[in-house]
Chains A and B, each alone.
Chain A
Amino acid sequence: MRPFEYVRTHDMAAAVALVSADPQAEYLAGGTTELDLVLKDGVLEPGRLIDITRLPLRGITCAEDTLRVGALVTMNELAADPTVSERVPFVREALLAGASPQLRNMATIGGNLLQRTRCRYFRDATVPACNKRAPGSGCAAVRGPARMHAILGASEHCIALHASDLCVALVALDTVVEIQGVDASRSVPLTQFYVLPGDRPDIENVLQHGELITRIRIPLLPVGMRSGYLKVRDRASYEFALTSAAAALLIEDDTIVRARLALGGVGTVPWRALEAEEILHGAPATRRTFRAAAEAALRDPFTVAGTAFKIELAQRTIVRILQEASGVQS
């Protein structure tokens, strides 16, 4: 483990300038990913960590049907927000389905978006083949035992999973990410924030080095639109998803007027299921419709022996959450 310099600042512009000017510098917020990979796994070796937890990036405000959430708001703080419970309840469900109470007190919303994969091969620096860690070195997961891995957006270059629960609900909601750079700020929809691995799995999102997530904007659901988050896992609690689904449905006269659907546990990025949404829109709210949507969502998987089971499991997860959100069982 390489020594690093620890820098604490209360000034956002100073923090952004420091990291932008130093390729060896990284931001430190909740630390639940960063310190794990730096101190314990030795996978990341920053020369300098800029502690941003004292920056004024806290607070949750609501205006014009949009929730604005500071990047340093913790998972537990967001889960406790009354507007979240009232208007986007599946965000709360996804938050409380993730990690443990201790980790949810530490982990920030900005950090949740940027959490690194739990792929064992990525997190084991003694494994030589990892295109995400060492571009061009190959993918040990494709050949070795793999189970907690992605089947959508994956390829022989990389099957590392984006393991966030929260981001599944956020991507379903068309959440927007606000980003601060040295010279300018910009906003990027979460659906365009992540980059599919392709042949460069080391590039995970559109952030340039030094750019800082400052806030996210969550559009609230229309009143009457019912939502839910379902997480299927090996243990009842404190475990990553095998498959998960976030769904929101607005149904009038047994017809689906509006649908939002996203998947977790299966994608190299939080996976918005647009093909499935197209099938749901305007269709009768029946189990047959839900099954057709589920099949559309999993039409183009890339599986290895250990992950093939996820196709059917993900489809059943989708049907189940659509049944729960709609109240339609048959």
Chain B
Amino acid sequence: MQNTVSAEAYVDVRLHVNGTVQALHVDSRVTLLDALRDELALTGTKKGCDQGACGACTVLADGKRVLSCLTLAAQCEGREVTTIEGLAADGRLHPVQDAFIRHDGFQCGYCTPGQIMSAVALLQEGRAGSDEEIREFMSGNLCRCGAYPNIVAAIREVAGRGSE
């Protein structure tokens, strides 16, 4: 890689993250994931495969779940980004966060922010109609610890289907 980068290879972008606006001047190649972690110190969003395969970097953009590792920071100008840090309100955990804790929906915890962001979106999409449907629509989030049964249980509970 070249050590010097021309001015054209940088871009100004205003990132709307969790309700605040941040002005950044970054290399055009910087992904939303790296901008969140390295520029804004929002390290809750995790870098797993960094190649769109594992879902650890899942965030919401304009309310829809996307992979921040395959999104340029520059592409997010004017879009409202929500990360795991933006879920809790007034010091209270989001119901999905609370359910993950009570159902032990993780072991090492590395994939958990992505799992939770994906689960929040899944519930909004109305895709928690059955355990089978939850599994299918959570399939973009891998968990190497294998906490899947407890993740499904947590989502099922928030969906109001209890422990059926």
List chain A positions with a Cβ less than 8 A from chain B: 1-6, 8, 28, 31-32, 35-36, 39-40, 49, 51, 53, 76, 99-103, 105-106, 236-238
Contacts and interface: CB of A to CB of B under 8 A. Distances in A.
Determine which residue in B8, B125, B127 has the highest number of CB atoms from chain A within 10 A of its CB, and name it: B8
A6 B64 contact: no
B71 A31 contact: yes
Nearest to A100: B140
Given A6-B72, A100-B140, A105 B65 contact: yes
A110 B59 CA distance: 24
Contact of B67 (A5, A53, A106, A237): A106
B50 A40 contact: yes
A4 B52 contact: no
Label chain A's interface by main secondary structure: mixed
A35 B121 CA distance: 24
Contacts of B11: 6
B139 interface: yes
Contact of A31 (B6, B8, B75, B136): B75
What is the interface residue range for chain B against chain A?
35 or more
A40 B51 contact: yes
B2 A2 contact: yes
Contacts of B89: none
24 contacts: A1-B29, A3-B2, A6-B28, A8-B75, A31-B70, A32-B70, A35-B31, A35-B71, A39-B29, A39-B31, A49-B28, A51-B75, A53-B75, A100-B55, A100-B139, A101-B137, A101-B139, A102-B55, A102-B67, A103-B70, A105-B66, A106-B67, A238-B139, A238-B140
